[in-house]
């Protein structure tokens, strides 16, 4: 039960925020805990090691790069928790080194022996039998040697450019006649498999790391010289684009220029093996203008994101049971697909991916619209999509069939910029009206609008979701979406697209909250309404399901609501800057995190509202970038069956017996064992569609 407290009259304490960078590292530590969990199938544990490594790469490329950039400008602004940039970087480096040590330990001491027991071995050159070594010498000669380029470093050869995230060998060679030592760099090619097959892959599979194969053949790269030593290293560079947006310049050209620059961003992390020669390390730090605190020592293999290659092995007994996403029961009649338009005229459809199939719902909605002669227009936002996107194909076919197709392609979507530029040009060639978004803002909302003529009247059909229009991630990410023919939603999306494609400055909508003008203010107003209800003795309560909670103003509003006696439950997968359970400040707030097989990605906001519950879903996390620098959409869910289902989902996720992590008032996350929420959801959807 919530603790009744009077409305706050004293200021909130200065230490009420947790550090966002350390909170993100705590999230990645939860991913690492899954790799450490010996109750999970072995290759699933390998997968979580790869995810942990990939996450850490992006964290350094973006977040740490941003801190370092601010540090070089001399800015002395402290983070909301009071730390200077230098203090944050020191804490991040220490915490990261601890996590990388844990990652290496679980891989070397636990997972590698279990892989060997399962017939999957990673060996070194000296472990190979003579026949295997002879076969791999031929493979090196034919497939690897021609693409290698040893680069010397001397007065005639400046230190070479080291590309971001590439594996490299720092090689020390000596002239046998003069005794003079030289330094050289050999890049491990990224277009050759990282794990080289030693033998046929069947029930047993043996692999040699590519860097081991190259190291064993270094004399072939430096004939006439003695190879003294070699050391593996890897560099991470700043990959966060800063596009100077000018209304008088073509945004596409500006972005392409910045993409060309990104590969030359400053180095922000140097990963080395524990056996790295100190003199070689000194050369690397000096030449790349890095400091000793930028170095991470990694036991064993560098770049465990490469373990995805092992996860791809055809060993189903070492993975989770496969599942087939179910078609939403309202979108099919037995095995026969139903018209999405006819279904939506009967009421909204709440989709819950990956449990509900993306292909037979959202994708089918766009495909049916593209093929339907009564559809006059399709308008859609695209933030990220897949390399062979059926959504883009359908939009192109719609345009070629003479429909008006408007697509807002967000070409500033981080790490998908080049792919989105390609999509944009393909859509333009097909006759689609392509818009690149608003100056100064990223368009992050997930919306689609279809205009259809029915009996002489135009009717609008809509989709608003929490995830991207990407059929591949829709099988991996947990997301929600609404398909609706509600005229109010259709009118709102029409107004929104007019804002995105024209000069409209509309900020008020019927069923939507739209950032950057309306989401923060709208949510704070609803949080304060719950506080008023609590103070008046009326039913109150707040439940948020998010990826991240960082915004200070919303966090302070939640603290105020807690002080007024509002029970608050927060499901935060990733970063949480709020400190729960602090007497006198947040004793009515509970924070938990669910990390599992699927990436919890949906955003849901629920308010008790004196018994008239409100539910909102959408694209926005509660962070500065989402609320101030992006176009985000939250939709009020009005359909009763959809509201009831959202309530059931939140109830199930907040069940005391669910396996999760709980955040304490000291900022530490504690693992709580219990039933698997995602497995329960899979089972429930399977029962409903059986």
Active site residues: 444
Neighbour tally for 197: CB within 10 Å: 14
Locate tokens 């844990």: which residue?
Answer: 102
**DSSP annotation string for 373-415:** TTEEEEEEEES---TT-HHHHHHHHHHHTT-EEEEEE-TTSTT
Query: Which token pair is 237?
Result: 């560079």
DSSP state of 141: I
Residue 154, SS3 per DSSP: strand
| Residue 507 to residue 521: CA distance in whole angstroms | 12
Whether the Cβ atoms of residue 653 and residue 639 lie closer than 8 Å to each other: no
Q: How many CA atoms lie within 13 A of 482 on its CB side?
A: 31
| Residue 551 to residue 625: CA distance in whole angstroms | 9
Cross-strand bridge partners of residue 122: 207
* Backbone torsion region of residue 610, taken as left when φ is above 0, otherwise alpha when ψ lies between -120 and 50, otherwise beta: left
Helices (H) and strands (E) in the chain, counts: 21, 29
CA-closest candidate to residue 353, choices 383, 397, 323: 323
**Phi, psi dihedrals of residue 526, rounded to the nearest 5°:** -75, -35
CA distances from 684 to 136, 326, 690 (A): 50, 11, 10
Element (H, E) at 169: strand 167-174
Radius of gyration of the chain from its Cα atoms, rounded to whole angstroms: 27
Query: Which token pair is 529?
Result: 């309404």
CA-closest candidate to residue 235, choices 22, 50, 61: 61
DSSP E strands, 85-150: 120-122
Locate tokens 């939640």: which residue?
Answer: 558
Query: Which token pair is 631?
Result: 């176009």
CA distances from 218 to 90, 191, 229 (A): 37, 19, 10
**Phi, psi dihedrals of residue 513, rounded to the nearest 5°:** -110, 130
Residue 632, SS3 per DSSP: strand
| 155 exposure class (CB count in 10 Å sphere: 0-12, 13-18, 19+) | exposed
| Residue 617 to residue 471: CA distance in whole angstroms | 20
| Residue 408 to residue 607: CA distance in whole angstroms | 32
CA-closest candidate to residue 682, choices 337, 353, 358, 334: 353
């Amino acid at each position: 039960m919530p603790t009744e407290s009077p409305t706050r009259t004293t200021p909130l304490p200065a230490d009420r925020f947790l550090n966002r960078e350390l909170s993100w590292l705590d999230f990645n530590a939860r991913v690492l805990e899954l790799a450490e969990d010996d109750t999970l199938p072995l290759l699933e544990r390998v997968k979580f090691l790869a995810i942990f490594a990939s996450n850490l790469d992006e964290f350094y490329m973006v977040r740490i790069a941003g801190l370092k950039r601010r540090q070089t400008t001399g800015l002395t602004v402290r983070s909301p928790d009071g730390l200077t940039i230098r203090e944050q970087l020191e804490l991040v480096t220490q915490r990261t080194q601890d996590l990388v040590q844990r990652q290496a330990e679980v891989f070397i001491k636990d997972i590698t022996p279990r892989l060997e027991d399962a017939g999957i071995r990673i060996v070194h050159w000296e472990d190979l039998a003579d026949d295997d070594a002879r076969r791999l010498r031929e493979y090196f000669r034919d497939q690897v040697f021609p693409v290698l380029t040893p680069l010397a470093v001397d007065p005639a050869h400046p230190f070479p450019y080291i590309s971001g995230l590439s594996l490299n060998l720092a090689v020390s060679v000596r002239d046998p006649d003069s005794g003079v030592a030289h330094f050289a760099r050999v890049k491990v090619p990224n277009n050759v498999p990282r794990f080289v097959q030693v033998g046929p892959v069947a029930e047993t599979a043996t692999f040699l790391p590519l860097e081991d194969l190259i190291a064993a053949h270094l004399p072939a790269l430096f004939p006439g010289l003695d190879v003294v030593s070699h050391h593996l290293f890897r560099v991470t560079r700043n990959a966060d684009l800063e596009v100077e947006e000018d209304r008088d310049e073509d945004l596409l050209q500006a972005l392409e220029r910045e993409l060309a620059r990104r590969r030359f961003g400053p180095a922000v992390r140097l990963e080395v093996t524990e056996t790295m020669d100190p003199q070689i390390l000194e050369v690397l730090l000096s030449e790349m203008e890095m400091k000793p605190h930028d170095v991470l020592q990694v036991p064993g293999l560098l770049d465990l994101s490469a373990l995805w290659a092992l996860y791809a092995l055809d060993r189903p007994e070492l993975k989770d049971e496969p599942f087939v996403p179910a078609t939403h029961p309202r979108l099919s009649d037995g095995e026969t697909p139903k018209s999405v338009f006819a279904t939506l005229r009967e009421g909204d459809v709440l989709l819950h991916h990956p449990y509900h199939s993306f292909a037979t719902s959202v994708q089918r909605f766009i495909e049916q619209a593209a093929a339907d002669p009564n559809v006059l227009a399709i308008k859609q936002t695209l933030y990220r999509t897949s390399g062979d996107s059926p959504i883009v194909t359908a939009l192109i076919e719609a345009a070629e069939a003479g429909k008006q197709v408007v697509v807002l392609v967000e070409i500033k979507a981080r790490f998908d910029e080049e792919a989105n530029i390609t999509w944009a040009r393909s859509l333009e060639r097909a006759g689609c009206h392509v818009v690149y978004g608003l100056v100064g803002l990223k368009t992050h909302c997930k919306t689609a609008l279809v205009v259809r003529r029915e009996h002489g009247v135009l009717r609008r059909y809509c989709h608003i979701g929490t995830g991207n229009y990407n059929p591949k991630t829709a099988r991996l990410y947990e997301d929600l979406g609404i398909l609706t023919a509600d005229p109010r939603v259709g009118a709102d999306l029409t107004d929104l697209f007019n804002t995105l494609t024209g000069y409209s400055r509309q900020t008020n909508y019927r069923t939507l909250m739209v950032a950057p003008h309306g989401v923060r203010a709208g949510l704070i107003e609803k949080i304060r309404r719950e506080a008023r209800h609590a103070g008046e003795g009326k039913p109150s309560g707040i439940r948020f399901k998010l990826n991240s909670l960082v915004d200070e103003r919303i966090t302070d509003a939640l603290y105020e609501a807690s002080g007024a006696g509002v029970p608050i439950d927060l499901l935060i997968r990733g970063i949480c800057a709020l400190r729960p359970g602090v007497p006198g400040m947040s004793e009515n707030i509970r924070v938990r995190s669910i990390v599992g097989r699927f990436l919890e990605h949906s955003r849901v906001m629920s308010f008790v509202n004196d018994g008239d519950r409100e539910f909102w879903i959408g694209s926005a996390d509660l962070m500065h970038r989402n609320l101030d620098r992006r176009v985000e959409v939250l939709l009020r869910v009005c359909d009763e069956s959809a509201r009831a289902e959202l309530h059931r989902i939140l109830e199930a996720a907040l069940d005391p017996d669910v396996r999760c992590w709980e955040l304490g008032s000291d900022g530490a996350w504690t693992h709580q064992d219990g039933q698997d929420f995602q497995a329960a959801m899979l089972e429930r959807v399977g029962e409903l569609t059986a």
